[in-house]
Structure 1
Amino acid sequence: MSHHLVALRAIVLREALRFVHQRERFLAALVRPLVWLVVFAAGFRAALGLSIIPPYQTYITYETYIVPGLCGMILLFNGMQSSLSLVYDRETGSMRLLLTAPLPRGWLLFCKLLGSTAIGILQVYAFLAVAFAFGIEMSAAGYVAALPALLLAGLMLGALGLAISSLVRQLENFAGVMNFVIFPMFFLSTALYPLWKMAESSDLLRDICAANPFTHAVELIRFALYGQVNGMAFLWVLLSLAAFLALALWGYDPARGMVRRKG
């Protein structure tokens, strides 16, 4: 167990040091959601009316509605960027050193996932602090209750990035795959508009949004910020996490996965 903890500490510390030396990554993580919060929300506010839906007890501004979705956006981009570093490490050879350590490969990947998720959560709380300065306030209990939801959602989205990185070998290819995954997941979700609003346009799109794991991650965060638990969202995020982790473990297994076939 001591060797496992040493590996956990070393990998998480490596992720933290990499993040500290990439200040532009922190700024980019804040700029993207702030553009949506300040610029796009001002234009969409009049076009998209919102009804009283759980967990809200009264009418809310559009800016308040999209905050949980923007928190999910930060976690999604962070999970993909962290997995991008895995592709880079594979090209430089340091990935091989990591995965040949005398510890279970699943544990090593989980340590990597946990480190990147912790960084994503820090970015989310930094964004929530900026949103608070813009007048979008949650209760103190909501900020605390959101932590487990952010952790689970971050692990799920990070595991998705791990699974994708196991299937893509070249760095330039991964960047294209990131866009192919990120934007459909984000726009076909409840991050920017509720399901009932999507159903007004198309039942098919509503069903796609309802099946999107990112939708359930956003709803898990949304309810947690108001001190509530969305059981269905929790279940879907947990199942998605298990599925993505299983795919990542399969992909990084040289005996069966894509790493061996492409190597």
Structure 2
Amino acid sequence: MSRYLTALRAIVAREALRFLGQRERFLSALVRPLVWLLVFAAGFRAALGLSITPPYQTYIEYETYIVPGLCGMILLFNGMQSSLSLVYDREMGSMRLLLTAPLPRWWLLVCKLLAGTAIGVLQCYAFLLVAWLWGIRMPWGGYLAALPALVVAGLMLGALGLALSSLVKQLENFAGVMNFVIFPMFFLSSALYPLWRMQEAGDLLHDICAANPFTHAVELVRFALYLQFNPVALGWTVLATAAFLGLSLWGYDPARGMMGQKA
């Protein structure tokens, strides 16, 4: 057990030092959601007036509605950034050293996933602090209740990034794959508008958004911020996490996955 904990501490410390050495990464993680919160929300507020929808008990401003979705955006981009570093490490050779450690490969990947999730959750709380200073405030207990929801959502999105990194062979191709995954996943969700708005545009579009795992991750965080539990969102998020993690473990299996084909 001590070997497992040593590996976990080492990988988390490595990711933390890498993150602290990349200040641009932290700033970009905050700039993206802040642009949506402070700029785009002002224009969308009139066009996308909201009705009373759970978990809200009254009419809310559009800025308040999109805060959970923007937390999801932070976790989504962070998961992809963390996986991008995996592709880079694989090309530089350090990934091979990590995977040859005398520990199960699944544990090493889980350590990487936990480290990336911890960084993403810290970025979310930094964003929530800025939103609070801007005047967008949730119930005080919601900030604490949102912690497990953010962790579960971060694990799902980080596992998705791990799965993609196992399938992409070259660093140059990963950016294109990121865009192909990030933007449909973000815009075809309830991050920026409720699902009933999508249903007005068409049942097919609504069904796609409802089946999107990112939608359930956002709703899990949204309900937690208002001290409510959403079992459906939790169930689908955990199921998607297991599926993505299983795919990443298969992809990094040298006997069957893309890593084995590359070797």
Partner of 2:112: 112
Q: Distance in 1 between matches of 2:177 and 2:53?
A: 34
Q: State the alpha-carbon separation in 2 of the partners of residues 132 and 260 from structure 1.
A: 48
**1:82 matched to which residue of 2?**
82
Report SS of the residue matched to 1:221.
helix
1:140 shift after superposition: 1.5
Shift of 1:49: 1.4
- Report the CA distance between 1:262 and its aligned residue: 2.5
Q: Paired residue for 1:35?
A: 35
CA shift, 1:31, in A, is 0.2
Show CA shifts across 1:20-67 (max 9, x none): 000000000000000000110000000011110110000000000000
- Hey, what does 2:56 align to over in structure 1? 56
| Identity fraction in percent | 80
Counterpart-to-counterpart distance in 2, 1:81 and 1:252: 18
Aligned to 1:230: 230
Give the whole-Å Cα distance in 2 for the aligned partners of 1:166 and 1:60: 42
**Aligned equivalents of 1:204 and 1:151: distance in 2?**
30
Matched residue, 1:170:
170
Work out the CA distance in 1 between the residues paired with 2:4 and 2:262: 29
Partner of 1:6: 6
The two structures have a TM-score, normalised by structure 2, of: 0.99
Matches within 5 A, 1:111-150: 111-150=111-150
Report the counterpart of residue 17 of structure 2 in structure 1.
17
Pairs within 5 Å for 1:58-73 = 58-73=58-73
Give the match's secondary structure for 1:126. Answer: helix
Whole-angstrom CA distance in 2 between matches of 1:88 and 1:192 = 32
How far did 1:169 drift?
A: 1.0
- The 1-side partners of 2:243 and 2:102 are apart by 25
2:169 is matched by which residue type in structure 1?
R
5+ long unaligned stretches in structure 1? none
Q: Does 1:258 align with 2:253?
A: no
C-alpha RMSD of the superposition: 0.5
Q: Is 2:248 the partner of 1:245? A: no
Q: Deviations over 1:132-161 (max 9, x none)?
A: 011100122100000000000000000000
Q: 2:214 aligns to what? A: 214
* Partners of 2:226 and 2:105 in 1: CA distance: 38
Letter of the structure 2 residue corresponding to residue 203 of structure 1: D
Separation (CA, whole Å) in 1 of partners of 2:99 and 2:181: 26
SS in 2 for 1:229: coil
What SS does structure 1 have at the residue aligned with 2:113?
Answer: helix
Q: In the aligned structure 2, how far is the partner of 1:56 from the partner of 1:138?
A: 11
1: distance between equivalents of 2:96 and 2:168? 15
Amino acid in structure 2 at the alignment position of 1:241: T
Q: For each residue in 1:202-224, what CA deviation from the matched residue of structure 2 results, as whole angstroms up to 9, or x when unmatched?
A: 11010000000000000000000
Gaps of 5+ in 2: none
Q: Which amino acid aligns with 2:115?
A: G
Question: Which residue of structure 2 aligns with residue 151 of structure 1?
Answer: 151
CA distance in 1, matches of 2:108, 2:166: 14
Whole-angstrom CA distance in 2 between matches of 1:191 and 1:136 = 16
Runs of 4 or more above 3 Å deviation: none
The alpha-carbon deviation at position 228 of structure 1 amounts to 0.6
